[in-house]
Chain A
Amino acid sequence: MTPQTTDPKTISEQLCQFARTNFVVEGATFDEHSPLAQAGIDSFALVELLLYCERVLGVRVPDSHLTGNNLTSMATLASCIAELARNNHSSP
């Protein structure tokens, strides 16, 4: 599958929207710079988020890229995904 976009801003908006729909409690403030760990993203939610990236954005994030720095916020995760997309790290 070819990556859909390489723009970190667009990716982070899509990720935030997915998180708001699925994990973030109603009424809570959440944006691309909110710490993921405080926004209800646990291991289960993280896997769902990564599978969403595969399915919708066409990018597979390898385990080696799941570092503390990349998982700080949606913005940092989006930058990592954009980088992978530019290097054509597409999902099978």
Chain B
Amino acid sequence: MPDLPRQIRLAAGDYFMHAQDHRMRRIGLPGNVCCAVHRLGNGLDADLLRRRIAASPILDWLARVRVVRPLPLIPPLWRTVAKPSTIFYEHTDHNGGGNGPWPLPQVVTDRELHSGRGPSLAFDLVRHADGINHLYLSWNHALLDARGVDLLLSHLNNDGTAKGAPTIENLISPRQKGWNLSGWWPNVKMARGSVKWLHESGRDPIFTLLPARPPAGPLCNQYRSVSFSQEETARITARCQRLTAGFRRSHFYLAASLRAVHAVAVRRGNKTGAYLIPAPHDTRRRGSNGPICSNHLSILFYRIEPQHAGRLSDILGELSRQMTDQIRDRFPESCMAALDMFKPLPLGFYVRHLGKPTRGKFATFCFSDSGETCTGMTDLLGGRILDVTHLVPTWRPPGLTVVFLSFSGRLSALLSSVNDCLSPDEVDSLERDIRSALLEEEVP
């Protein structure tokens, strides 16, 4: 078994997520903490789960690692502390049944998962009276991304005999090992392109969901899960095949989301405000077993003018053109180089710097397509996986995040919003419009 390093470099995406965590807590939101909710059938071996978590060197390392800045104005890093942390909690629910993922039980929402103080992840197993179990895997987004969580569960589910399951060799990217300043030295030339692009694309007017006034009451994240049956998912896939040859699935989902947000914007009187949407892309190779730790992403930014946001075909055309232009100009690499370059900045300056091109608006909404989750897994330690939902908190700004994911041939979309940015009626309308955009043909 290889020795795990005591400290590694913080990926550019990790510091970005850490900064968002800082900003969310400052305005009263619970932090950049995600929760993967697995609804499991009878047969789950909770003792085995506890033993696997306790025996896993990967989870031991992940539970002990913290974001540390060795000196002011030096890039931060992940460093392990000696103290082992408890990360598995078991609860019994004598009354309720195992229903939907939201609202989260109080015990899960109260869990403090801070990447600087740690631990940054926790497992809560709730055993319901009807035999259904809910496994809540909560994690600070600075530590892991959605694919990393998937790999972690696949590692836990493996008894050591299965071929191709993630192992300790897959925990850390080789590029993050060997922390020293030479590994950070900024590539200013590389970063310049994206900074210039963001300043041009962030020009006014940009439509924002944020209210003009400061929040009157306490802020909280609200979640709406839009689920599609297997039959509906098959229809959506067939439409995607027709519209985008099947290769631009994420664009199809993004176009549907944008058309729905555009409808809200029009009702709010928006005529000229453009929509700015960052869309992350997983940089791991498809089917690879790692790395598990850190956020391995590159980002594309789309700016869609309102006159192009009313029809799916127009939006798809714009997305395709902008994606090709950005990859041709090496924008994703440039954007990550810029984020890497700003890592030495203290969190407050870093956040302010990120908001500069858009004068603090950051984006209209965030979009992500996590793809297939729990690939190849039908059960988790004996319990059949009935349903999976990833609850991803939204940042403020922008106040809305749309995340698509599919499990076992069923697509779902999570609408995560901050209570003062979207009213319940507007969330209803988003759900309705996304469903119709994905399932129904557009009138020519």
Asked whether A84 is an interface residue with its Cβ less than 8 Å from the other chain, the reply is: no
What A residues does B286 contact at CB under 8 A? 23, 25, 39-40, 42
- The number of residue pairs between A and B whose CB atoms lie closer than 8 Å in the complex comes to 51
Given A25-B286, A40-B286, A43-B251, do A71 and B327 touch, yes or no (CB 8 Å)? no
Q: Which residues of B contact A63 (CB under 8 A)?
A: 320
Inter-chain contact B247/A41, CB cutoff 8 Å: yes
- Interface status of B285 (Cβ within 8 A of chain A): yes
Q: Are A24 and B247 neighbours in the complex by a CB distance under 8 Å?
A: no
Complex Cα–Cα for A41 and B245 (A): 13
A25 close to B285 (CB less than 8 A): yes
The answer to whether B249 has its CB under 8 Å from any CB of chain A is: yes
Query: When each residue 237-251 of chain B gets 1 if its CB lies under 8 Å from chain A and 0 otherwise, what string results?
Result: 000010011111111
- Distance in angstroms from A24 CB to nearest chain B CB is 7
Residue-wise interface mask of A (7-42) relative to B, using a CB-CB cutoff of 8 A (1 in contact, 0 not): 000000000000000011110100000001101111
Chain B proximity of A44: nearest CB distance (Å): 5
Which residues between 388 and 416 of chain B lie within 8 Å of chain A, taking CB atoms?
none
B245 touches A71 (CB 8 A): yes
Complex interface bits, A40-72 against B, C-beta within 8 A gives 1, otherwise 0 = 111110111011000000000001001110010
Chain B nearest Cβ from A58, distance in angstroms: 15
Q: Tell me if A37 and B246 are in contact (CB < 8 A).
A: yes
* CB <8 Å contact, A71 and B247: yes
**How far apart sit A19 and B246, CA to CA, in the bound complex (Å)?**
18
Smallest beta-carbon distance B443→chain A, Å: 23
**Residue of A whose beta carbon sits closest to that of B284:** A25
Residues of B within 8 Å of A51, CB to CB, are 324, 327-328
Interface size on B (CB < 8 Å)?
Answer: 19
Neighbour of A50 across the interface among B244, B246, B288, B324, CB < 8 A: B324
Q: Are A68 and B246 in contact (CB under 8 A)?
A: yes
Question: Which chain A residues border B324 with CB–CB below 8 Å?
Answer: 47, 50-51
Interchain CA distance A59-B429 in the complex, whole Å: 44
Given A43-B247, A43-B251, A66-B245, A48:B287 Cβ within 8 A: no
Within residues 219 to 273 of chain B, which ones have a CB less than 8 A from any CB in chain A?
Answer: 241, 244-251
Contact check, A43 vs B241: say whether CB atoms are below 8 A apart.
Answer: no
The one of B241, B247, B287 in contact with A28, judged by C-beta atoms closer than 8 angstroms, is: B287
| Cβ contacts under 8 Å, B323 to chain A | 43-44, 47
B249 surroundings in chain A (CB, below 8 A)? 42-43
CA distance A63 to B321 in the complex (A): 10
Determine if A47 and B327 form an interchain contact, defined as CB atoms under 8 angstroms apart: yes
Report A-chain residues with C-beta under 8 Å of the C-beta of B285: 23-26, 40
For residue B327, give the distance in angstroms from its CB to the closest CB of chain A: 5
Taking a contact as CB atoms under 8 Å apart, the answer to whether B250 and A25 are in contact is no
Asked if B287 and A43 make an inter-chain contact with CB atoms under 8 angstroms apart, the answer reads no
User: Complex Cα distance A37/B248, Å?
Assistant: 11
- In Å, the complex CA distance between A44 and B297 comes to 12
Chain A's closest residue to B288 (CB) is: A25
Most chain-A CB neighbours within 10 Å: which of B241, B287, B320, B328?
B287
Q: Are B327 and A44 in contact (CB under 8 A)?
A: yes
Please, how many angstroms separate the alpha-carbon atoms of A25 and B288 in the complex?
6
A-facing residues in B131-153 (Cβ within 8 Å)? none
Encoded as 1 (CB less than 8 Å from any A CB) or 0, chain B from 275 to 288 comes to 00000010001111
Shortest distance between the CB of A6 and any CB in chain B (Å): 24
Contact status B328-A46, CB under 8 Å: no
Q: Which residues of chain B are near A44, meaning CB under 8 Å?
A: 281, 323, 327
User: From B248, which residue of chain A is reached at the shortest CB distance?
Assistant: A43
Q: Which residues in B have their C-beta under 8 angstroms from that of A71?
A: 245-247
Whole-angstrom CA separation of A28 from B286 in the bound complex: 10
A36, A46, A50, A68: the one within 8 Å of B241 (CB): A68
For A25, A40, A43, which residue has the most chain B Cβ atoms within 10 angstroms?
Answer: A43
CB interface residues, B 282-309, toward A, < 8 Å: 285-288
How near does chain B come to A50, taking the closest CB pair, in angstroms?
7
Shortest distance from the beta carbon of A63 to any chain B beta carbon, whole Å:
7
CA distance A67 to B248 in the complex (A): 12
Question: Which A-chain residue is minimally distant from B317 (CB atoms)?
Answer: A63
Q: Give the docked Cα–Cα distance between A53 and B250 (Å).
A: 23
Residues of B within 8 A of A (CB): 241, 244-251, 281, 285-288, 320, 323-324, 327-328
8 shortest interchain CB distances as A-B pairs: A40-B286, A25-B285, A25-B287, A43-B248, A25-B288, A47-B327, A68-B245, A46-B247
5 residue pairs from A and B, CB less than 8 Å apart = A42-B249, A43-B244, A44-B323, A47-B324, A68-B241
11 other A-B residue contacts (CB within 8 Å) besides A43-B250, A44-B327: A25-B285, A41-B247, A43-B244, A44-B281, A44-B323, A47-B324, A47-B327, A51-B327, A68-B241, A68-B246, A71-B247
